Structure 1
Amino acid sequence: MELDIADLSRLQFAATAMYHFLFVPLTLGLSILVATMETVYVMTRRPVWRQMTKFWGTLFGINFVLGVSTGLTMEFQFGMNWSYYSHYVGDIFGAPLAIEGLMAFFLEASFVGLWFFGWEKLSPRAHMIVGWCVAIGSNFSALWILIANGWMQNPVGAVFNPDTMRMELSSFYDVLFNPVAQAKFVHTVSAGYVTASLFVIGVSAWYLLRGHHIELARRSIAVASAFGLASCLSVILLGDESGYEATLNQRMKLATMEAMWETEKAPAAFTLFGIPDTEARETHYAVQIPGLMGLIGTRSLTREIPGIFDLVGQAEARIRSGLIAWEALQVIRAERANAPAEVRATFEAHGADLGYAMLLLRYVEDPTKATDDQIQKAAWDTVPNVGPMFWTFRFMVGAAFVMLGMLVFAFWRTSFRGGSYPRWFLRLAVVAIPLPWLAAETGWFVAEYGRQPWTVDGLLPTAMSVSRLSALDLALTLAGFVTLYTVLLVIEMRLMLAAIRKGPVLDVALTEDWRVAHEARLASPNAQPAE
């Protein structure tokens, strides 16, 4: 029953998180693009840039509201569905989430209102600064959330206190500058920039195909293609960095992504295609690129990447070490301050493996009574399902290179062909609008599913993290969330499509002012343009 509750809790959090992340990438990317467009408007005072800023800003606002409404629920779930997790690691995990709410979210939410309602009340420069505050707040919010998530992937700067039975913060600096969190932050926000860029290109391509808003569409593609190309290169480079960090900190995740059952002689090959067989524990029809995985994963030609079999053997050794820590912990809990010094020393020596002993709780109430067969099963539990990991990773990588090709082509046509785009490319850009969302969702699947069976890698198994709820409670709330979020998604899609069909609205008075100023500039080089 406990496993059913854990699975339902995982499914509920996964559903709400993946719904929420449909809105996040577009918010991150559009905030920067809109602020950039307004900056150009302030510098040039050309009405088309104000028109672009308002139009894309409207789409940003619709998406922002839905993103906030779906994101608030997720933090409450930690207390509702994951109460033991919150108790066990709240000292560490709660800090970045609190900072995100107090610092980043309030900054973002406060300036959003000023931006939308301050067009006629603020000077152009002040309004531009407000726009950049919104963009900074959006990205700053993502930073703190990804620091929290990065700690779950690579728990640094924390120690377990056997007297309180909780993890305690030992170095906030280590948590803040966790290399996994930093790589994940840049990778994630860059993916958001690519998402927004391809969204802008796709909508603009639709306008060009219909022959509407030509000037706005061409300028929008020019901005989005340059911004998106730089961002896509960043995504690919930081994806390589994430692979390197996985080699250092999450080797089982890397091995399952590659369906690498056996440890290969360095440098390991990259499996371009194959059919993983989890029952036979081998990969059929593998097509490999020699040496590539070794370069990606180790940045060398001599270091090995351990395979699944070797990693399972290491997990079994850590489970047996964790059992020693478990026995010592029971003595400490029973005798408290009177626990012998040698028992505490034993726990200190083996405490890093305590989480591995907890994996046995799936099979037996007292881990010290586990059989060798149960220990081996627990060791194999550290292997995520290889098939989904293998294929979703390849879809994500393939999608990234398709998007890179589209952005390179758009940038080349913008820069060297006068902004002319063949109709086949415009149609492709419209059809490809969902592609970055699919890539982002599969990326999160690889990151989170690949961490299983851990909530906090190596420290706390997922099955131990859940609240004591009934399966019925979880099933009902899961159905409620999916229904509500689907309704919200439909509402957003209808609002976005309505705004796109309506198109941008140009300020007539502003256009006339600019026309008069432009004619004055042409008449006299010393004439000053109208504000």
Structure 2
Amino acid sequence: MIDFTVVDLSRLQFAATAMYHFLFVPLTLGLSFLMAIMESVYVMTRREIWRRMTLFWGTLFGINFALGVATGIVMEFQFGMNWSYYSHYVGDIFGAPLAIEGLMAFFLEATFIGIFFFGWDRLSKVGHLAVTWLVALGANFSALWILIANGWMQNPVGSTFNPDTMRMEITDFAAVIFNPVAQAKFVHTVSAGYVTGSMFVMAISAWFLLRGRHLDLAKRSMAVAASFGLASALSVVVLGDESGYVATEHQQMKIAAMESMWETEPAPAGLNVFAIPGVRENSYEVKIPYVLGLITTRSLSTEVPGILPLVERAEVRIRNGMTAYAALDQIRADRNNAAARQTFADTWHDLGYALLLKRYVDDVPAATDEQIEKAAWDTVPDVPTLFWSFRFMVAIGIYLIVFFAVAFYLASRHRLGENRVLLWIALFSLPLPWVAIEFGWLVAEYGRQPWVVEGVLPTFYAASGLTLVDLAISLGFFLTVYTTLAVIMVLLMLKIIKAGPSERNVLIDGIRGSAVVPERAAAAPQR
């Protein structure tokens, strides 16, 4: 039988790695485009202040990028170390986007980021601007291919199970690339990254203004960040709505759990603004009529199924999957069994549901009604966690729209740097985009449990056969190293921020051993 302590520790280790890694990714996405915008203004106006802005924010981008690489590479190795059966079962499909991301996007970004820092005096202004935009595009291409891979896990299109190799294999790579779930997740995720970068620039610039330092740079940076942040925050809402619409088509249990909706309501369904989720029903709830149905189905007549009907549907699919499992056993015993192959071809889409029974019984076709019912209930993720995580994410998103709208209005009136209340709000709002993003990933990933690949492979079935000691040691090691790296990143960023912008490339000066503080650099004797 499967050791679920090992499975839970494997999940915890990957979750910790992923959530640490995603502390750096959004800021990389946001700062890369803000840098490109600032350097574009520099090339058009030839005003030196915009070059200094690009260098300053680019230095902070470089530190963050390095930490993102360090944490992201380990994640990819974990697919082979902690999730070896997952890699065997779906590696032909999942591995392709990851390989393309490394060859096409990561190498592009990593190459041009070096030219960005070392090429200021070696390239023309237009040439260096092109490099900066390639860095930004590389970061977004990297996110695209990662999210194509993740989107396939949420909606496994363009693939089929091969009974001869006992693996999922790709049948339509275009369907994998243009998977609607992947496309919706990509635009929603990168927009959230743009909001994060904008808030980071707003907060640091607000700190400069509150201290009366680097006023020209801070005011211009805040004006750019306010405009870009407002557009991005509005995009997050619009594109998040698209994600919800796509999830209603492909991940109905996730939507029902997010809304703590146990029974199917007459269309259009109402939205739970507040609820106390219980077991099989809510203890208390406050609804806005029709809103959920309109958002998730964009119609007045389409129902949004509740948790209990979806559990009944899962039970039917489990029984159908048991037929597929039995036919697969017959094919393995006799590869020329045409009747078994036909039966399997008709039922293989539910094979993953039959694998849920492995939690309770080794001989799947011999499962009892009670075991089938338990497996069907396993398709329900933790309702309170999803319900509140989603609402915290949405609440922060609404707050950020209001914040950036006010900031944009003040910036358009050239009064942004004078409003000390808003400056303090900006400074203390710095962590909010990260909080919202982590809640969003919790909804996306925890919401598809018990599946590592939706409807195809249960999470517990995908883990490697590691020991408890192996996982405990590696988990402790990862947490220690990642926490240390996060602290180092914060300290380095604080050092750069306290030093302030310079006429020189402060990151390259630091690599060469030069002083990063402008005043010290000016006071140094000439050689």
Aligned residue in 2 for 1:303: 302
- For 2:347 and 2:58, locate their aligned partners in 1 and report how far apart those are by CA, in whole Å: 55
Q: How far is the alpha carbon of 1:420 from its aligned partner?
A: 4.2
Aligned Cα root-mean-square deviation (Å): 1.0
Aligned residue in 2 for 1:467: 464
Identify unmatched segments of 5+ residues in structure 1: 509-531
Contact 1:268 1:294 in 2 (8 A): yes
Aligned residue in 2 for 1:287: 286
Q: How far is the alpha carbon of 1:282 from its aligned partner?
A: 1.5
Aligned residue in 1 for 2:359: 362
Contact 2:354 2:364 in 1 (8 A): yes
Aligned residue in 1 for 2:312: 313
Name which of 476, 479, 482 aligns with 1:482.
479
- For 1:27 and 1:479, locate their aligned partners in 2 and report how far apart those are by CA, in whole Å: 27
Aligned residue in 1 for 2:512: none
Q: How far is the alpha carbon of 1:67 from its aligned partner?
A: 0.5
- For 1:250 and 1:446, locate their aligned partners in 2 and report how far apart those are by CA, in whole Å: 12
- For 1:140 and 1:391, locate their aligned partners in 2 and report how far apart those are by CA, in whole Å: 32
Aligned residue in 2 for 1:24: 25
Aligned residue in 2 for 1:226: 227
Q: How far is the alpha carbon of 1:506 from its aligned partner?
A: 2.8
- For 2:433 and 2:290, locate their aligned partners in 1 and report how far apart those are by CA, in whole Å: 29
SS of 1:458's equivalent? Answer: coil
Aligned residue in 2 for 1:41: 42
Q: Which amino acid aligns with 1:308?
A: I
Contact 2:83 2:463 in 1 (8 A): yes
Q: Which amino acid aligns with 1:424?
A: V
Q: Which amino acid aligns with 1:70?
A: T
Aligned residue in 2 for 1:178: 179
Q: List, as ranges, runs of 4+ consecutive aligned residues in structure 1 with deviation greater than 2 Å.
A: 416-421
- For 1:290 and 1:150, locate their aligned partners in 2 and report how far apart those are by CA, in whole Å: 31
SS of 1:60's equivalent? Answer: helix
- For 1:107 and 1:454, locate their aligned partners in 2 and report how far apart those are by CA, in whole Å: 33
Q: Which amino acid aligns with 1:314?
A: R
Q: Which amino acid aligns with 2:69?
A: V
Aligned residue in 2 for 1:73: 74
SS of 1:433's equivalent? Answer: coil
**Alignment deviations for residues 304-357 of structure 1 (CA, whole Å, 9 cap, x no partner):** 000000000000000000001011000001112x21x22111111111000000
- For 2:281 and 2:476, locate their aligned partners in 1 and report how far apart those are by CA, in whole Å: 37
- For 2:138 and 2:395, locate their aligned partners in 1 and report how far apart those are by CA, in whole Å: 31
Contact 2:272 2:286 in 1 (8 A): yes
**Alignment deviations for residues 455-495 of structure 1 (CA, whole Å, 9 cap, x no partner):** 00000000110111111101110111011000000000101
Name which of 432, 451, 456 aligns with 1:454.
451
Written as runs of structure 1 = structure 2, the 5 A alignment for 1:136-151 is 136-151=137-152
- For 1:453 and 1:285, locate their aligned partners in 2 and report how far apart those are by CA, in whole Å: 27
Written as runs of structure 1 = structure 2, the 5 A alignment for 1:89-488 is 89-277=90-278, 280-336=279-335, 338-339=336-337, 341-488=338-485
Q: How far is the alpha carbon of 1:218 from its aligned partner?
A: 0.8
- For 2:292 and 2:90, locate their aligned partners in 1 and report how far apart those are by CA, in whole Å: 34
Q: Which amino acid aligns with 1:426?
A: L
Contact 2:29 2:140 in 1 (8 A): yes
**Alignment deviations for residues 222-271 of structure 1 (CA, whole Å, 9 cap, x no partner):** 11111111111111011101110111000000000000011111111111
SS of 1:275's equivalent? Answer: strand
Q: How far is the alpha carbon of 1:39 from its aligned partner?
A: 0.9
Contact 1:152 1:455 in 2 (8 A): yes
- For 2:218 and 2:169, locate their aligned partners in 1 and report how far apart those are by CA, in whole Å: 53
- For 2:414 and 2:141, locate their aligned partners in 1 and report how far apart those are by CA, in whole Å: 37
Aligned residue in 1 for 2:494: 497
Q: How far is the alpha carbon of 1:419 from its aligned partner?
A: 3.5
Q: Which amino acid aligns with 1:79?
A: G
Contact 2:280 2:308 in 1 (8 A): no
Contact 2:209 2:417 in 1 (8 A): no
SS of 1:305's equivalent? Answer: coil
Q: How far is the alpha carbon of 1:418 from its aligned partner?
A: 4.2
Q: Which amino acid aligns with 2:461?
A: M
Aligned residue-pair number: 504
Q: Which amino acid aligns with 1:371?
A: T
Contact 1:413 1:421 in 2 (8 A): no
Q: Which amino acid aligns with 1:411?
A: F
Contact 2:109 2:138 in 1 (8 A): yes
SS of 2:55's equivalent? Answer: helix
Q: How far is the alpha carbon of 1:2 from its aligned partner?
A: 2.0
Aligned residue in 2 for 1:518: none
Aligned residue in 2 for 1:50: 51
Contact 1:194 1:231 in 2 (8 A): yes
- For 2:283 and 2:473, locate their aligned partners in 1 and report how far apart those are by CA, in whole Å: 41
Q: How far is the alpha carbon of 1:401 from its aligned partner?
A: 0.5
- For 1:14 and 1:397, locate their aligned partners in 2 and report how far apart those are by CA, in whole Å: 22
SS of 2:334's equivalent? Answer: helix
TM-score after normalising by structure 1? 0.94
Aligned residue in 1 for 2:524: none
Q: How far is the alpha carbon of 1:417 from its aligned partner?
A: 4.5
Identify unmatched segments of 5+ residues in structure 2: 506-527
Written as runs of structure 1 = structure 2, the 5 A alignment for 1:6-25 is 6-25=7-26
- For 1:2 and 1:347, locate their aligned partners in 2 and report how far apart those are by CA, in whole Å: 29
- For 1:175 and 1:353, locate their aligned partners in 2 and report how far apart those are by CA, in whole Å: 20
Q: Which amino acid aligns with 2:188?
A: H
**Alignment deviations for residues 359-405 of structure 1 (CA, whole Å, 9 cap, x no partner):** 00000001111111110000000000001000000000000000111
User: CA separation of 1:299/1:452 partners in 2, compared to 1, >3 Å: closer, same or farther?
Assistant: same
SS of 1:233's equivalent? Answer: helix
Q: How far is the alpha carbon of 1:274 from its aligned partner?
A: 1.0
Aligned residue in 2 for 1:512: none
SS of 1:263's equivalent? Answer: coil
- For 2:116 and 2:75, locate their aligned partners in 1 and report how far apart those are by CA, in whole Å: 27
Q: Which amino acid aligns with 1:204?
A: S
TM-score after normalising by structure 2? 0.95
Contact 2:194 2:232 in 1 (8 A): yes
SS of 1:100's equivalent? Answer: helix
